[in-house]
Amino acid sequence: MAEVITEMVLPGTYIEVRAEGLISVGGIVTGRIGIVGTASRGPVMTPVSLGSYSQAKEIFGDYDAWKDGNSNELTLVRALEQIFNNGATDVLVVRVKGSDPTGASVSLPDVDDDDQITVTVTDLGSWANGTTAEVRTVILRERRTFTVSDSDPFNATRTTLQLPHTDLRRRGGASGSLTAADISVRNRTTGTTYNLDPSPGAGEFSADASTGAITFGEAQTVGEILEVTYYRDATEVVFTLPNGLQEIYTDILNAGALNTALASSNFFTGEVVSSPSGKALKTGTYSFGGGSDGADASTVDYQEGIALFESEDINFVLAAGQGTEIASVLTGHCETMENNGRERIAIMGSDLGEDVPEILGHLSAIADDRLIFVAPGVKAVDAAASAAQRTRVEVTLPGAYAAAAVAGLLASLPVHHSPTNKTLSIVGLEQEFLRPELKQLVQGRVLALEKKSGYRVVRGITTDTGAFQQITTRRIVDYAKMGIRMGSLPYIGRLNNERVRKALRGTLDGFLTTMVLDEALTGYELSVTATRADEIAGRCLVTVFLRPTFSIDYIKVTMYLE
């Protein structure tokens, strides 16, 4: 709230603070990636911020084994592997779906083999298929207190106490009669501990394991408190997820009790049949199944996921695993967001198995300063197939995953650092183009990859045919636009006079000077003006001439011999 003087009526000191001179441009995000794709678990159509690959797997699960790219393989985590391997640290993720994903489930029967409750994993997807529910009998240590009276659970003479459980057990499940180690009675009022004896006298008791009845050698005193410790059978249900995490619920009387216990579960929910028997659950191990991922997502589904980024600040946008048919969706999104003041760059790649003419054929219909087209595809270690076959399995992935690797690289670089000649952390290339082929690709506005002391970006370019061919130029200008917009926003609504305009110029000058010092610009010219007509119309005119820094793409050497 501005500290301004609205009135001066009473005598005193009135202070107006004009703080425009302290306004500066704060931090600007330059390496945030937005990506959509299919996954085996995790929230659907909800943006989730990730900072590492391990976090990605924890939330969205593992990807499945690669087949041929046309079998609805899961795309999201596979692309995130390339992104994080190449330096990204801030990724906004949306899991998309085709058909509705379902959670893995299992039905548990009672002792009569009638299904009583269906337990479903709340995190939808195939990741939980193979989860087990083990219903087993365990021995519990029970400690109960009873106040002596002339009524239940005591008999009228107060010589018999009926425990709430029958079929008492020996500690550890040993066979034979109960011993003092298996059942004990202590009078908490007097501090007396009773002795176990088949023919009890004063201060002694006997116990019938089958009925749960305790008989005392003498009548107990009304109002005294007895503490009884004993062992009994109980039903325990153990849920084990494929990742090894467990949830254990003990002393489950029936399906209704399990359903109540599952209300606090982190992974499961229960639904009891309409007419439950109330009987105990049948012991055994039951396997979950039926979980599906909705991996049959179409271009329309990906478009809906990308639309969720419209209210987010990101710098790069990708559609995981998608081929060249996604180009119009990406360019349309970037155009819309540029008009909304949220600039970003889209990155996509070639389809699997394409040669140079086929790759260049896509570029005949594309010329966009906010689109990067990457080729060829990459080779990667398939973690899912490697785990299943217990050996290292390499697969060949389409250019969409090469685009993910390039996105990770760009996200790790300052805006004025070119990806040209930078190495990528990948296993290999789908194909290694010859020098003439690389020349054609670069001339065709493709960000080509080559094998040369590692795997490198040949030249960091967009698909633009005009001023923004170099990626760095596009990023520098976007950075300047964001900074100028951020620095100007606090001045909206302030006085349009020379003092405030001078402060605005100082704010923007400080930001642009920093860009020069950071070597993103070689220089700039800035003016902030307003005529009287502009002041009346509420306009303040900021004119900026920027001189972006360019990278070295070519080194020409002339060698003289003497």
- The share of the chain scoring above pLDDT 70, in percent, equals 100
345-349 sheet: strands from edge to edge: 48-50, 91-95, 33-37, 316-319, 345-349, 371-375, 447-451, 455-457, 423-424
| Mean pLDDT score of the chain | 94
Rounded to an integer, what distance in angstroms lies between the CA atom of residue 302 and that of residue 287?
33
**Alpha carbon of residue 205 to chain centroid:** 60
For residue 445, pLDDT beyond 70: yes
Report which of 380, 554, 333 is spatially closest to residue 459, judged by C-alpha positions.
554
Q: Is 479 within 8 Å of 472 (Cβ atoms)?
A: no
Q: pLDDT digits over 66-91, tens only?
A: 999 999 999 999 999 999 999 999 99
Band of residue 1 on the pLDDT scale cut at 50, 70, 90: very low
For residue 421, pLDDT beyond 90: yes
CA of 50: how far to CAs of 57, 83, 548, in Å? 10, 11, 32
Of the candidate ranges 14-23, 153-162, 213-222, 351-360, the one whose mean pLDDT is the lowest: 14-23
Which CATH architecture does the domain made up of 137-233 adopt? Sandwich (2.60)
Peptide bond into 164 cis (omega under 30): no
CA of 273: how far to CAs of 108, 109, 285, 515, in Å? 10, 10, 20, 67
Query: What pLDDT was estimated at residue 15?
Result: 81
Rounded to an integer, what distance in angstroms lies between the CA atom of residue 428 and that of residue 408?
16
DSSP letter assigned to residue 497: S
Q: Is 191 within 8 Å of 159 (Cβ atoms)?
A: no
Q: Which residues contact 95 (CB under 8 A, 6 or more apart)?
A: 36, 37, 38, 39, 42, 43, 44, 45, 46, 48, 60, 76, 305
DSSP letter assigned to residue 479: H
Strands 394-397 and 521-529: unpaired
Backbone angles phi, psi at 154, to 5 degrees: -90, 155
Mean pLDDT of 437-453: 96
Could you tell me the sign of the dihedral formed by the alpha carbons of 439, 445, 450, 456, in that order? positive
For residue 57, pLDDT beyond 60: yes
Query: Is-same-fold flag (33-99+295-469; 137-233)?
Result: no
Mean pLDDT of 92-99: 96
- For 365, counting Cβ atoms within 10 Å of its Cβ (0-12 exposed, 13-18 middle, 19+ buried), the class is exposed
Domain assignments of the chain as residue spans, ordered by start: 1-28+491-562, 33-99+295-469, 105-131+241-287, 137-233
Q: In DSSP terms, which residues pair with 228 in a beta bridge?
A: 144, 185
Helices (H) and strands (E) in the chain, counts: 12, 27
**Alpha carbon of residue 553 to chain centroid:** 38
Within 298-398, residue ranges assigned H as helices are 299-307, 327-339, 356-363, 383-389
Structure-token match 């370019």, residue found: 461
C-beta atoms surrounding 424 within 10 Å: 21
Overall CATH class of domain 33-99+295-469 = alpha beta
Structure-token match 């396997």, residue found: 287
Q: What is the DSSP string of 134-173?
A: EEEEEEEEEEEEEE--SSTTB-TTS-EEE-S--SEE-GGG
Q: Is 118 within 8 Å of 105 (Cβ atoms)?
A: yes
Mean pLDDT of 479-495: 94
Report which of 419, 396, 518 is spatially closest to residue 68, judged by C-alpha positions.
396
- The share of the chain scoring above pLDDT 90, in percent, equals 92
Rounded to an integer, what distance in angstroms lies between the CA atom of residue 171 and that of residue 182?
5
Backbone angles phi, psi at 187, to 5 degrees: -85, 105
Q: pLDDT digits over 529-547, tens only?
A: 999 999 999 999 999 999 9
Rounded to an integer, what distance in angstroms lies between the CA atom of residue 542 and that of residue 466?
25
| 318, containing H or E segment | strand 316-319
Mean pLDDT of 393-411: 97
Token pair belonging to 220? 């107990």
Return the half-sphere exposure (C-beta side, CA atoms, 13 A cut-off) of residue 226. Answer: 28
Q: pLDDT digits over 121-140, tens only?
A: 999 999 999 999 999 999 99
Mean pLDDT of 359-387: 94
Per-residue burial over 68-91, b if 16 or more Cβ lie within 10 Å, else e, is ebeeebbbbbbbbbbbbbbbbeeb
Rounded to an integer, what distance in angstroms lies between the CA atom of residue 542 and that of residue 23?
17
